Amino acid sequence: MSVSVNWSYPTSIRFGAGRITELADACKAAGMERPLLVTDRGLAPLPITGKALDILEEAGLGRAVFSEVDPNPNDKNLAAGIAAFRAGGHDGVVAFGGGSGLDLGKLIAFMAGQTRLVWDFEDIGDWWTRADATKIAPIVAVPTTAGTGSEVGRAGVLTNSETHVKKIIFHPKMLPAVTICDPELTVGMPKAITVGTGMDAFAHSLEAYSSSFYHPMSQGIALEGMRLVKENLPKVAADPGDLDARGHMMSAAAMGAVAFQKGLGAIHALSHPVGALYNTHHGMTNAVVMPPVLRFNRPAIEARIAKAAAYMGISGGFDGFYDFVLSLRSELGVPDKLSALGVERDRIDEMVEMALVDPTAGGNPVLMDRKNTRALYEETI
């Protein structure tokens, strides 16, 4: 991709292939002299991570890395990360990875200077004002997947290691000061992660677009976000080295996250309990539950989805859009049922209760209740 641009919306974004070389400069721009690079266990030994550390070291910023980060990171990962941050005398975090590394990096920067428990900052009302904002360390975000959009978000998702419930932790200053979107970093993703993360980006835009809240800015971004996924996800799945399409997927991921300030919905509400109980991949789980949720929401979103279909070059209104989702899933090898991800029927009761209190449930255009949520799980497992 030949495009190389600087954006300042919603934060400072350096977008373009090869721009990881600007990592040290980005850290300095964010006011860091001793950054801690936070990533997950899988990424830590890979060459892209080694190169990022080389860049920091060569610029005199040290070579510190913390990688005790699980997929769906938890409070134990956070406690170990905070300890590493304090012990190393760090003054900022390079959050490097997919949603797991990005979120845990952001949470370490947020929590390292706080005295309260992380759960006191769940995304409820004005709980974030409980934090001492002067103690939040700056963050440079470097996404290596194209899905969660956490690189442009103000929240981190953390799993409670005792209850297995995922909580959204929010503070406006968790928005990274600088983000580097370098599509070359995403080329080495395993195919299932390319597909899963891409479908997560699509789910963010689709759910934001479908939610009934009034937010025209998000509405516009969500529409173009969906179109970019439609045009580019099949390309990157077929040809991992297609940098043009990889770049568009990075944009779509960031756009989905900007858009979902409007709200998410039943796809995420059903998917979060599954991820928490079975440790499935977040985006892949979303992709499995997407068609039943579209059918469920149809009475509320039919006209709106028909408009989206027309914009995306899909004929046949809502039905055409629904068929497009089904064929995209089968082209990408997404399974039809949650049972293919190891989910079993004996935990439906538990999942229903978790889905109903999930913060994303309230954004769904059709009210979720015990009966219809159970029916959705029953038809999807």
Q: Which is nearer to ligand NAD, 91 or 103 (CB)?
A: 103
265 binds, among ligand NAD, Fe ion, none (CB under 5 to 8 A by kind): none
In the complex, least distance from residue 209 CB atom to ligand NAD, rounded to whole angstroms: 16
In the complex, least distance from residue 129 CB atom to Fe ion, rounded to whole angstroms: 26
| Interactions with Fe ion, residue window 267-306 (CB under 5 A) | none
42 binds, among Fe ion, ligand NAD, none (CB under 5 to 8 A by kind): ligand NAD
CA 363, CA 209: separation in Å to the nearest integer? 10
| Spatial CB neighbours of 16, under 8 Å, sequence gap ≥ 6 | 1, 3, 4, 5, 181, 182, 183, 247
In the complex, least distance from residue 166 CB atom to ligand NAD, rounded to whole angstroms: 6
Q: Which is nearer to ligand NAD, 91 or 358 (CB)?
A: 358
Q: At which residue do the structure tokens 């899963």 appear?
A: 196
Strands 64-66 and 92-97: unpaired
75 binds, among ligand NAD, Fe ion, none (CB under 5 to 8 A by kind): none
185 binds, among ligand NAD, Fe ion, none (CB under 5 to 8 A by kind): ligand NAD
In the complex, least distance from residue 293 CB atom to ligand NAD, rounded to whole angstroms: 16
Query: What DSSP state is assigned to residue 182?
Result: -
Number of H helices, E strands in the chain: 12, 9
CA 1, CA 18: separation in Å to the nearest integer? 10
Q: Which is nearer to Fe ion, 257 or 352 (CB)?
A: 257
Q: Which is nearer to ligand NAD, 196 or 225 (CB)?
A: 196
Q: Which residue is nearest to ligand NAD (CB)?
A: 99
Strands 35-38 and 64-66: parallel
Q: Which is nearer to ligand NAD, 27 or 199 (CB)?
A: 199
Longest dimension (CA), the chain: 59
| Spatial CB neighbours of 108, under 8 Å, sequence gap ≥ 6 | 36, 38, 66, 78, 81, 82, 85, 93, 137
Q: Which is nearer to ligand NAD, 127 or 375 (CB)?
A: 127
Number of residues binding to Fe ion, judged by CB under 5 A: 1
Q: Which is nearer to ligand NAD, 14 or 322 (CB)?
A: 14
Q: Which residue is nearest to Fe ion (CB)?
A: 200
Phi, psi of 140 (to 5 degrees): -110, 125
Query: What DSSP state is assigned to residue 272?
Result: H
Q: Which is nearer to ligand NAD, 66 or 322 (CB)?
A: 66
CA 296, CA 131: separation in Å to the nearest integer? 39
103 binds, among Fe ion, ligand NAD, none (CB under 5 to 8 A by kind): ligand NAD
Q: Which is nearer to Fe ion, 81 or 275 (CB)?
A: 275
Q: At which residue do the structure tokens 């209850």 appear?
A: 163
305 binds, among ligand NAD, Fe ion, none (CB under 5 to 8 A by kind): none
Interface residues with ligand NAD (CB under 6 A)? 40, 42-43, 46, 71-72, 97-101, 103, 144-145, 147-148, 150, 153, 155-157, 185-186, 188-189, 193, 196-197, 200, 257, 282-283
92 binds, among ligand NAD, Fe ion, none (CB under 5 to 8 A by kind): none
CA torsion through residues 297, 302, 303, 309, sign: positive
| Interactions with Fe ion, residue window 160-219 (CB under 5 A) | 200
Helix axes 266-278, 191-210, angle to 10 degrees: 140
The residue count for the chain: 381
- State both tokens at 282: 């977040």
CA 39, CA 143: separation in Å to the nearest integer? 10
| Spatial CB neighbours of 96, under 8 Å, sequence gap ≥ 6 | 37, 38, 39, 43, 49, 52, 102, 105, 142, 144
- State both tokens at 175: 């928005």
In the complex, least distance from residue 144 CB atom to ligand NAD, rounded to whole angstroms: 4
In the complex, least distance from residue 72 CB atom to ligand NAD, rounded to whole angstroms: 4
In the complex, least distance from residue 14 CB atom to ligand NAD, rounded to whole angstroms: 18
In the complex, least distance from residue 107 CB atom to ligand NAD, rounded to whole angstroms: 10
- State both tokens at 91: 């003054």
Q: Note the residues at the interface with Fe ion (CB under 5 A).
A: 200
